Amino acid sequence: MTAAIHSAHWGAFRPRVENGRLVEAVPFEGDPDPADLLASVPDVVHAPNRVRRPAIRRGWLEGRSRDEAPRGGDEFVEVSWDEAIGTVARELTRVRSEHGSEAIFGGSYGWASAGRFHHAKTQMQRFLAASGGYIAHVGTYSFGASSVILPRVLGFDANTSDSHSWDDIAAHTETWLMLGGVPTRNMKVDSGGVGAHRGARGLSRALAAGARAINVNPIRDEAPAGVEWQPIRPGTDVALLIGIAHTLLVEDRHDRAFLETFTTGFDRFAAYVRGDGDGVAKDAEWASDITGIAAERIRGLARDMSVTRTLITTTWSLQRAEHGEQPYWMTVVLAAMLGGVGRPGEGFAFGFGSTDGIGSGSQRFRPPSLTKGVNPLAGREIPVARIVDALENPGGAYDFDGERRTYPDIRLVYWAGGNPFHHHQDLGRLTAAWQRPDTIIVNEPWWTPTAKHADIVLPATTSLERDDIAATSSDGWIVAMKRAVDPVGEALDDSEIFRRLALALGLDAPHQSVDAALREMYDAGRTSAAGIGLELPPFDEFWESGSVELPRVEPRNPLVRFRAGEPLATPSGRIEIFSETIAGFGYDDCGGHPAWMTPREWATGYPLQLISHQPTTRLHSQLDHGSVSRAAKIRGREACRLSRADAVARGIRDGDIVRIRNDRGACLAGAVVTDAVAPGVVVLPTGAWYDPDPATGLERHGNPNVLTADRGTSKLAQATTAQTTLVEVERFDGELLPVEAFDPPRIAER
């Protein structure tokens, strides 16, 4: 039978169930462009690596040292729910009593479920807040650098504000500089669910209107076919923008009136561009030496952009590099020099091609959601990308956004709804640091790498095994996610796990049913909608129909109001081309204006730049064990792409297994030789489940984060720098060890 509508980050669908098993995720009939990823949903719900019973790592259970029985290499013992709940409750009590609540980390980063109630991270944080507090994280891996720099420069985070729409670009843009391209693969997903995919079609409309679009990218197919491709050395976009700025400046093509009226500090930046202080003019030749783009090409871009209505879009990926704040800041500065900020189809925009909703219009109501509660340790958060630093250096001092902070002494990690062995960098370093806490607890439906590196694993349901509500303001759909199949094994909802833990700790556990909680959340959203003139049906009517589609509206660029005279929330009230505040921090890796700084990684001497972008066949590491992702692998390994010239030089042919290495680690992958990747670059998507060989440490599955450096973008944002990674690639002729990424750990008898 085909059940009522359901939803996931990759789209809405109707579950088809036969004999109690999900056999197909039928695309929602209201979706004009459904994602191929839906084919993987039945595979993962009934996967052989589901966690079926609570399990405790034997070494932890028996009190053995982690040198003797390390996390990630030990067997597990299955226990009853009563024993598991009692064990977790006692350990939480012990750690709080001996070390304080600041010894408990509940960051739990990840996309988790599209459902608003059964959002694992939020459920966990509610519980930890109510039971005494915890250390959380701040920021994201996606746009951790820009979310710090943009409020300093603009007074708001332009990643999360309404900006340009596809129709706006189609109607007004004449030159479109796509820094990082506009990758359509990311438009198959959106946090909170997608009722109807619109991004790829919107992009097609915008391009068909005739604007000149330039994909500035080392990868040609990061923009649709037919878009002008400008290869660039990865991580050098800020140098390109500075070189363009130099031409605008010396040829008097910049908008003096806009700069004088709406910005502050341009004279300080102009002096840097001219080279007044260091004697180095940041001209097109200077930029060419860094970027690999011809100087005349850079001058031509500057001249064309100065006489056409120009839009500069910058993908989130560009900031995930050393000094990742700089390309975002420089994007704003160059758009200000062109004078189009706040005008239709001009200026700048961020994140196009990062999710489906960006550019597709939105609805301005607050979707129903679960609150995290009040954390008594609010303000003690650590930057999300600095978890290993915290584990390695308890009590150590670090800089972050103008503050001098201290890392907590983390003794217990509780993780739910994420996979740090996907998101984090330098997995060899993470694996070592992960041995330091006394206890690691994980709620998880599958035996992921994180679950295998835990001490206590509690089996959680998937979204198909419970009722929930999906809603996102960027999509315009509210979907009733109705339970389609029974829980696998002894899996429980995260909400039920935390209710039982609260009772074991003697807390006032909520006795509200899931149905009552969903009604309460929906009614709160209905009230919010009514406040802006939207009428949502009563809950019972919504639940029966399965979905509600809200009318969509064009994005509202907040800079339109700024151009009309409304000041920004910056110290000057203007766009801060030079920031006295940032300059006052005295950081050597992020000064008072945007600048080019050579990445430290370049000194390693490896010849190829690794790009570890988001995959086409899954969402981060979600669905990697599904059929869509597995079908794209080469002899069970993740596929990597490299140029024909680099492949020939190394004796690599299409389909060969290759070893990608640097001083931090090595992994195996399957080679794809292509003309769509610039020479000097190798592309290995993120998300292949971490699978190191126990004997050699060689990662067998193709996880690029064994290669990436775990260092902050700068003292300002402390964000991830995954895209600044140099490697070598060679054909692998050794014994091809089997991939065990999706195998459950050994389950021992008690």
Domain borders along the chain are 6-139+377-473+477-549, 146-189+198-360+573-582, 600-731
- Please list the residues that pair with 55 across neighbouring strands: 78, 457
And the tokens for 701?
Answer: 């599955």
* pLDDT for 107: 78
- Select the more confidently predicted residue: 281 or 369: 281
Which pLDDT belongs to residue 297? 98
Q: Is 421 exposed, middle or buried (0-12, 13-18, 19+ CB in 10 A)?
A: buried
Interior CA angle at 22 toward 18 and 25, to 5°? 115
Q: Which of 10, 60, 111, 134 is catalytic?
A: 111
* End-to-end Cα spacing for the chain: 41
- Window from 11-15, 109-113, 345-349, 564-568 with minimum mean pLDDT: 109-113
Where does the pLDDT of residue 582 fall: very low under 50, low under 70, confident under 90, or very high at 90 and above? very high
**pLDDT higher than threshold 80 for residue 745:** yes
Q: Distance between CA 10 and CA 475 in Å, rounded?
A: 12
Which DSSP helix (H) or strand (E) runs through 215? strand 212-216
Distance (Å, rounded) from C-alpha 679 to C-alpha 63? Answer: 52
CB 548 within 8 A of CB 542: yes
Residue 2 confidence (pLDDT): 54
708 is written with which tokens?
């990436």
Active site residue 596: no
**What are the C-alpha distances in Å from 749 to residues 53, 56, 77, 78?**
13, 12, 6, 8
Rounded CA separation 226/222 (Å): 11
The per-residue pLDDT for 298 is 98
pTM over the 0.95 mark:
yes
**The predicted structure's pLDDT at residue 344:** 94
Q: What is the 3-state secondary structure (H, E, C) of 507-544?
A: CCCCCCCHHHHHHHHHHHHHHHHHCCCCCCCCHHHHHH
- Please state, in angstroms and as integers, the Cα–Cα distance from residue 108 to each residue in 116, 542, 654, following that order: 16, 32, 39
| Dihedral (CA of 513, 79, 491, 423) sign | positive
Supply the pLDDT for residue 3. 65
* CATH code given to domain 6-139+377-473+477-549: 3.40.50.740
Residues 6+ apart with CB under 8 A from 298: 240, 243, 244, 247, 284, 287, 288, 291
Average pLDDT over residues 714-734: 97
Instruction: Find all residues with CB under 8 Å of 105, minimum gap 6, and list them.
Output: 134, 135, 136, 387, 390, 408, 410, 412, 413, 414, 437
Strand order in the sheet with 468-471: 468-471, 477-481, 547-549
Cα(196)–Cα(357) distance, rounded to whole angstroms?
10
Positive or negative torsion for Cα 334, 337, 343, 345: negative
Judge whether 393 and 387 are in contact, CB under 8 Å. Answer: no
Return d(Cα 44, Cα 164) in angstroms, integer: 37
Q: How far apart are CA 115 and CA 443, in angstroms?
A: 16
Give the per-residue pLDDT at 284.
98
SS3 (DSSP) at 60: helix
In 3D space, the residue among 30, 736, 724, 102 whose CA is nearest the CA of residue 408 turns out to be 102
pLDDT at 1: 44
**Position 510 confidence tier, pLDDT thresholds 50, 70, 90:** low
Which pLDDT band holds residue 190 (cuts at 50, 70, 90)?
A: confident
Q: Looking at the DSSP assignment, which residues form a beta bridge with residue 230? A: 216
Q: What does the mean pLDDT of the chain come to?
A: 95
Give the pLDDT mean for 176-203: 92
Confidence band, pLDDT 50/70/90 cuts, at residue 363: low
Which tokens sit at 92? 């939480």
- Which residue out of 10, 60, 109, 166 is catalytically annotated? 109
- Residue from 137, 114, 105 nearest 415 by CA: 105
pLDDT number for residue 91: 98
CA 464 to chain centroid? 24
CB atoms within 10 A of CB 14: 18
- Beta-bridged to residue 662, according to DSSP, are 665
Q: How far apart are CA 82 and CA 553, in angstroms?
A: 51
**H-run or E-run covering 666:** strand 665-674
522: annotated active-site residue: no
The identity of residue 194, as a single letter, is: V
Three-state SS string across 567-595, please? CCCCCCCCEECCCHHHHHHCCCCCCCCCC
Chain CA centroid to CA 624, Å: 16
Q: Whole-angstrom Cα distance, residue 267 to residue 220?
A: 37
Which tops the pLDDT comparison, 188 or 631? 631
Give the Å distances, CA to CA, from 241 to 282, 315, 579, 602. Answer: 10, 15, 19, 20
| Amino acid, single-letter form, for residue 14 | R
| C-alpha closest to that of 734 among 696, 708, 683, 677 | 696
Average pLDDT of 241-263? 98
Q: Which tens digits make up the pLDDT trace of 274-286?
A: 999 999 999 999 9
Higher pLDDT, 430 or 354: 430
CATH of region 146-189+198-360+573-582, choose from 3.40.228.10, 3.40.50.300, 1.10.3300.10, 3.40.225.10: 3.40.228.10
For residue 339, the SS3 value is: coil
Domain 600-731 fold: Barwin-like endoglucanases (2.40.40)
**Identity of the amino acid at 63:** G
Per-residue pLDDT averaged across 23-27, rounded? 96
- Residue pair 363/196 in contact (Cβ under 8 Å)? The answer is no
Nearest CA among 706, 608, 594, 720 for reference residue 238: 594
Q: Which amino acid is at 165?
A: S
Residue in the block written with tokens 């035996």:
447
Two structure tokens written together for 736: 């091809």
Element (H, E) at 502: helix 494-504
Q: Are 37 and 632 in contact (CB under 8 A)?
A: no
How many other CB atoms sit within 10 Å of the CB of residue 496? 17
Number of Cβ within a 10 Å radius of residue 98: 10
Report how far residue 490's alpha carbon sits from residue 282's, in angstroms, rounded to the nearest whole number: 63
Query: Within 13 Å of residue 179, how many CA atoms lie on the same side as its CB?
Result: 30
| Cβ atoms of residues 447 and 745 within 8 Å | yes
Which tops the pLDDT comparison, 744 or 471? 744
Tell me the residue type at 228.
Answer: E
The pLDDT of residue 652 is above 80: yes
Integer CA distances (angstroms), 667 to 449, 630, 640, 725, in order: 16, 17, 11, 14
Give the Cα separation of 660 and 691 in Å (integer): 15
Q: What are the residues facing 234 on neighbouring strands?
A: none
Fill in the amino acid letter for 214: I
pLDDT of residue 473: 64
Residue 386's CB is within 10 A of a number of other CB atoms, namely 24
Sheet arrangement for strand 439-444:
104-105, 412-416, 439-444, 456-459, 55-57, 76-78, 747-748
According to DSSP, the residues that pair with 294 across neighbouring strands are none
User: What is the Cα–Cα distance from 698 to 732, expressed in whole angstroms?
Assistant: 12
pLDDT band for 371, please (50, 70, 90 cuts). Answer: confident
pLDDT, average across residues 646-673: 98
User: pLDDT of 611-646, one tens digit each?
Assistant: 999 999 999 999 999 999 999 999 999 999 999 999
Nearest to 709 by CA among 258, 385, 273, 440: 385
Average pLDDT on 397-422 reads 97
Query: HEC string of 136-200?
Result: CEECCCCCCCHHHHHHHHHCCCCCCCCCCCHHHHHHHCCEEEEECCCCHHHHHCCCCCCCCCCHH
Using one digit for the tens of pLDDT, what is the confidence trace for 32-44? 999 999 999 999 9
Q: 15 - beta bridge partners?
A: 25
Check residue 274 and give its pLDDT.
98
